[in-house]
Amino acid sequence: MKRFLQFAKLKRTSFLNQIFQFERKTKVACGSYYTSVILNDGNVRFFGYNSYGQTDVPDLGGRKAVAISCGANHSAILLEDGTVRFFGSNGCGKTNIPDLGGRKAVAIACGANHSAILLEDGTVRFFGSNCYGQTDVPDLGGRKAVAIACGTYHSAILLDDGTVRFFG
């Protein structure tokens, strides 16, 4: 049985590699039952379950993707000009991009039902479901954010002094 499972795993992996064998991938992200990759040329490909439009790449206006993130049923793409695209299920407002005040995004993150954007000035925007406090950004003590992450029902911010704030 173990040998069969190894073969089945190898066969599935080989199939996925054949799909993209001629295209170099630079980044990968996984959501619930789907996966996305950024190709070397900045184009994005999604594959897997698409019940909420989470793999339907919106028009990027000819711009290249520099980052991707996948939640349970929604996805996000950060473009080279600092703009973002969120798409898929919008339950709880997780794809409603808040006002960024004209600032560019430098990072994105998707949780199960919430999302986050890190802006060029070190500020953050969290939005979507807040049933566990996962979008209630704590006091950062005047520090700037340098990285963000979203879990299922929690979030984290890495600050410029190396400390991390967890919430949710």
Compute the distance between CA of residue 26 and CA of residue 68 in angstroms, rounded to an integer: 11
pLDDT at 7: 38
| pLDDT above 90: percentage of residues in the chain | 83
How many other CB atoms are there within 10 angstroms of residue 81's CB atom?
11
Give the residue-averaged pLDDT of 102-117.
98
Does residue 135 register a pLDDT over 50?
Answer: yes
Q: Which residue has the higher pLDDT, 40 or 147?
A: 147
Does residue 58 register a pLDDT over 60?
Answer: yes
Task: Please name the residues in contact with 138: beta carbons below 8 A apart, sequence gap of 6 or more.
Answer: 165, 167
Q: Dump pLDDT digits (tens) for 8-47.
A: 444 455 555 555 555 676 899 999 999 999 999 999 999 8
In this structure, are strands 145-150 and 124-128 parallel, antiparallel, or unpaired? Answer: unpaired
Distance of CA 15 to the CA centre of its chain: 25
Kindly provide the b/e burial profile for residues 40-75, where b requires at least 16 CB atoms within 10 angstroms of the residue's own CB: eeeebbbeeeeebbbbebeebeeeebbbbbbbbbbb
Nearest C-alpha neighbor of 68 from the set 105, 24, 93: 105
pLDDT at 13: 52
pLDDT at 47: 87
Contact present, 131 and 119 (Cβ < 8 Å): no
pLDDT at 113: 96
Q: Dump pLDDT digits (tens) for 72-107.
A: 999 999 999 999 999 999 999 999 999 999 999 999
Mean pLDDT rounded to a whole number for the chain: 89
pTM value? 0.86
pLDDT at 16: 55
